[in-house]
Structure 1
Amino acid sequence: MPQSLRPQGAAPDLRAAILLTAALTLARLAALFATPLELYPDEAQYWLWSRSLDFGYYSKPPMIAWAIWASTQIGGDAEAWIRAPAALFQAGATLLTFLIGRRLFDAPTGLAAAALYGLMPGVQLSALVAATDAPLLFFLGLSLLAYTVFLTPAEPRRRRLLAAGLGASLGLAFLSKYAAVYFVVGLALHLALSREARRAWTPASAAAATLALAAVLAPNLAWNATHGFATFQHTAANAAWSGVHLFNIGEMGAFLGSQFGVFGPIPLGALILGVGLAIRGRAVEGRAIRREDLLLLCFTLPPILIVTGQAFISRANANWSGAGYLAGAILVAAWLMRWRARLWLRTAVAIQAGVAAFFLAAVISPALADKAGLANGLKRARGWSDTADLILDRAWREPGLTAIAVNNRFLFYATAYYGRDRLAERGVPLTSWLLMEGPRNQAETAAPLTDDLGGKVLMVSYEGWRRAEMQADFARASGLEIGSVRLDAKRKRRIEMFVGEDFAPRPRDPVSGLPIRP
């Protein structure tokens, strides 16, 4: 691999990359501390995990909970501190993008890559929410940087240390999100296609990388082994080909269309064009793909192609291809620079900067999103504090409650977060009512409504879902109350509540797990 530019030549671009990253990070942190948007329930779930540190959780590896624990130890439990690690992880990922681009190509390419990545629409969202994508992308970037350095000729001991560092950083990526497996796919593909890569690896360096990876992953594997491999099963269930309509061209088209919004229209167009030119050059002209391009293609294309196939067979979310974003930004920057398409590069950066500015403004003042017709995208980050108050106000009017039980995991996590002080003061446990015989999520696993807590329970149904079946699980049900919380000018959240006494859940069907109707 080519060496990076001399320090004096790279210094202005490095300073520019640092200033760009600092400006973006400060703007994002300012938006986080200014926004009135509340925690999305998944964010509240991660916060709840962080109150009890562990090496694994029901649906995700532990990195997100560890990061939130660290930030809230510094600043407390306010929403901004829960989300702050995302902005910092993405700041690190942006700088790593510069360093990888500079090492593989040159400093101007690294700066262009950092701009494309840092301003990427998908990264804007990832940097402002407490989720697993930001730490994943940071540690994948660290792994890719370690790999590019590892491929540089070096004496054996240094290579073993670099291999161990690669294994450790990849392990941390897996502790962030199991989508880190795409890096393994990319590495295997690169080894299959690159003789230079195969020569770089020796049994000793492969052993160092494997042992470091295993050492980092061991606690999470042990946790899963003692918890029925819950995280693995949840991840597999998300990826399961269980859609109502298999082989769905519409789903695939929707996913591919979403990538233009996530990756950016010009960068994704350049990526598609570049891949086409590379294939044509190889197939028609017999021209070898440049080794730097080949490396980045191996880490960019697998997530996109695999998730596109997943969307066609079943379904896929727009961010599931995120493992390829960082390498893809570097590759697109390199191609646009090579093609002397600087106008396209500047236009892409300008468009994405405009989108980023609007997004930050909408986060600070959600009324802008409402006026732009985007209120629906923010509804899940609104009204949860009022919803928790609605539930707890009713609960405190009922003497002698033994529990509060909700039938929706969003309600559980939002009430746990926004009602945390009131719940702690009264000591009434917050629980989950189970529709099925066994738990289906972390809330139902950690806090199920049981016979011991079922003496007198405030039952809470989200939008009236399964309320009749909830009532049938008690000897007596009374005091039905229907309340609502305004989300925006058009939308409300409806909550139905009643008091259930003497919890006696009906028998469940042994096949479906659903309650048997009388």
Structure 2
Amino acid sequence: MITAALTALRLAALFATPLELYPDEAQYWLWSRTLDWGYYSKPPMIAWLIWGTTRIGGDAEPWLRLSAPLLHALTTLCVYGVGRRLYGAATGFAAAALYLLMPAVQLSSLVMATDAPLLAFLTLALLAYVELPHAAGRRRLGLAAGLGVAMGLAFLSKYAAIYGLIGIGLHLALSREARAAWTPATAALATGAGLLTLAPNLAWNAAHGFATVQHTAANAAWGGRQLFNFAELGDFVASQFGVFGPIPFAVLIGGTILLASRRRLRSQDVLLLCFTLPPLLIVTGQSFISRANANWSGAGYAPGAILVAAWLLRWRAKGWFIAALATQAAVAIVFLACVLNPAFADKAGLANAFKRAKGWEQMTEAIAERALREPKGSLDAVVVDDRFLFNAAAYYGRDYFGLDGEPPLRMWVRETHPQNQAETTAPLTAAHGRRVLVASLDEVYQAEVMNDFRSVSSREIVGVRLDRKRKRTAGLFIAEGFAPAPRDPVSGKPIPRRP
């Protein structure tokens, strides 16, 4: 009932919020227009989900995001199932409550991103894993196959699903009882089902030079950053208190150290730690040598919530459990208030957190209005130099760009090779570069864009107010004769022409 009620509240918030799409959400919507087995930066699951929900209700923002709260509801039920199997119904209920009110889940339930399907399928796989030792016959075979399919679907959502495999491998290595539950037949069935589910995406990657794998690896690389960044490390660790919840994360870290040092970890604790610690420790290390986003450790959120609930109940720390729920409920109320009324976020000093979900529709309208001032058919394209602007303009200009003789939307390619999906699928070429309208968000890039044309007009600046302190501006100008300047063979970046 609690899961259903909070999910219904989140669905209502989706349809009531005036916030626009994040540019990444707009990109996923673009992918959903052409279904495939893979895309430049992500596996295909998110595009499939958007395709399904927008076929039901249309392309408006809430329908695009519809599956996010539903997937987190599924994850919550799986958390309950795992907690009940390992510790009992009380722990399952407490863990579900902690997960449902986790700050990261609040955000992820109202934004269409890859974390929601990843966590749903990983937790479904974990549920199958903990149930399998207690099953026999056909049910055991069914659970093995289901585990493999769930892991395959998790990989189709986000390659961070690798943490699920690490957790299984680690637990099997540590637990003789866990190994005894598996037979060659169940292992082969789980492995075969997982590979069969994932095979089309592997084939797509092979046919496209392993584009998604390379992009994921590039995100994990340090990319020229200084090694051993204590500031990045501190920021990431602090962010985990924010996304997991301050009291639950403190209990998770403190409980792990305390129980491990005193050798009081139970077998169930060890199982869940095998799934919780690898993403947390690996991404913490990555933040130290490079960088890491707060949600990159998300694969450990669900098993971590179960551990925290189990330990608080075991220690009879009722007051701390209530304090954790109350704190996270308060955060949820404030977050929903900001989502429903962005002016409240401005007054509360939280406007910066929502700036990427504002102003894109107005900016797109300003660009389209400028293009309409040109004689019909005189523009070969509208060109942008920022992938966020491209994605947002493609969504909010979906009834204009490329329709009824209006110019299509194109992406200026800065380097020798494409660096994102927009540059890959809609690059500006000579065929669309005779006469274009350029919309540039980045003043640094504007000079480089101009350098790629034989002539350009004077700039017109348009601005969109995001809140009391912030404004998004773009420079608009007509450019003619697309003739890209040479790119540096090492860096791939434009070489300035000599005057």
Which shows bigger deviation, 257-266 or 146-155?
Answer: 146-155
Asked if residue 433 in structure 1 is aligned to residue 409 in structure 2, the reply is no
1:493 aligned partner: 472
Asked if residue 338 in structure 1 is aligned to residue 314 in structure 2, the reply is yes
User: C-alpha distance in 2, partners of 1:143/1:413?
Assistant: 33
User: C-alpha distance in 2, partners of 1:84/1:351?
Assistant: 27
User: C-alpha distance in 2, partners of 1:96/1:198?
Assistant: 23
User: Alpha-carbon deviation of 1:279?
Assistant: 1.3
Out of 103, 108, 115, the position equivalent to 2:85 is 103
Asked if residue 34 in structure 1 is aligned to residue 16 in structure 2, the reply is yes
User: C-alpha distance in 2, partners of 1:50/1:153?
Assistant: 39
Out of 425, 429, 433, the position equivalent to 1:450 is 429
Out of 130, 145, 149, the position equivalent to 1:168 is 149
User: C-alpha distance in 1, partners of 2:419/2:190?
Assistant: 36
What secondary structure sits across from 2:449 in the alignment? helix
* Equivalences for residues 54-133 of structure 1 within 5 A: 54-133=36-115
User: C-alpha distance in 1, partners of 2:297/2:187?
Assistant: 27
CA distance 1:125–1:243, shift in 2 (3 Å): farther
User: C-alpha distance in 1, partners of 2:224/2:313?
Assistant: 42
The C-alpha deviation readout for 1:422-477, integer Å capped at 9, x for no partner, is 22244411000011011100000000000111111111111423111211211111
User: C-alpha distance in 1, partners of 2:462/2:444?
Assistant: 14
The C-alpha deviation readout for 1:193-243, integer Å capped at 9, x for no partner, is 100111112222111111101100011011111111110000000001335
User: C-alpha distance in 1, partners of 2:414/2:424?
Assistant: 13
Which shows bigger deviation, 38-47 or 501-510?
Answer: 501-510
1:15 aligned partner: none
User: Does the 8 Å CA contact 2:386/2:442 hold for their aligned counterparts?
Assistant: no
User: C-alpha distance in 2, partners of 1:130/1:161?
Assistant: 31
1:192 aligned partner: 173
1:404 aligned partner: 382
2:244 aligned partner: 263
2:184 aligned partner: 203
The C-alpha deviation readout for 1:82-120, integer Å capped at 9, x for no partner, is 111111101111111111111111111111000000000
User: Does the 8 Å CA contact 1:307/1:321 hold for their aligned counterparts?
Assistant: yes
User: Alpha-carbon deviation of 1:516?
Assistant: 2.1
User: C-alpha distance in 2, partners of 1:298/1:222?
Assistant: 30
Asked if residue 467 in structure 1 is aligned to residue 409 in structure 2, the reply is no
2:324 aligned partner: 348
User: C-alpha distance in 2, partners of 1:312/1:219?
Assistant: 35
User: C-alpha distance in 1, partners of 2:432/2:339?
Assistant: 41
Residue identity matched to 1:94: T
Out of 236, 239, 243, the position equivalent to 2:220 is 239
Residue identity matched to 2:381: A
User: Alpha-carbon deviation of 1:276?
Assistant: 1.4
User: Does the 8 Å CA contact 1:185/1:302 hold for their aligned counterparts?
Assistant: yes
User: C-alpha distance in 2, partners of 1:276/1:506?
Assistant: 57
Aligned residues: 494
Asked if residue 316 in structure 1 is aligned to residue 292 in structure 2, the reply is yes
2:25 aligned partner: 43
User: C-alpha distance in 2, partners of 1:54/1:413?
Assistant: 18
What secondary structure sits across from 1:350 in the alignment? helix
User: C-alpha distance in 1, partners of 2:135/2:80?
Assistant: 21
Residue identity matched to 1:409: R
1:511 aligned partner: 490
- Scaled by the length of structure 2, what TM-score is found? 0.97
What secondary structure sits across from 1:438 in the alignment? coil
Structure 1 consecutive aligned stretches of length 4 or more whose deviation exceeds 3 Å: none
User: C-alpha distance in 2, partners of 1:319/1:116?
Assistant: 17
User: Alpha-carbon deviation of 1:159?
Assistant: 2.5
Q: Which runs of 5+ in 2 are unaligned?
A: none
2:276 aligned partner: 300
User: Alpha-carbon deviation of 1:334?
Assistant: 0.6
Asked if residue 135 in structure 1 is aligned to residue 117 in structure 2, the reply is yes
The C-alpha deviation readout for 1:239-274, integer Å capped at 9, x for no partner, is 013352211111111111111111111111111121
User: Does the 8 Å CA contact 2:78/2:127 hold for their aligned counterparts?
Assistant: yes
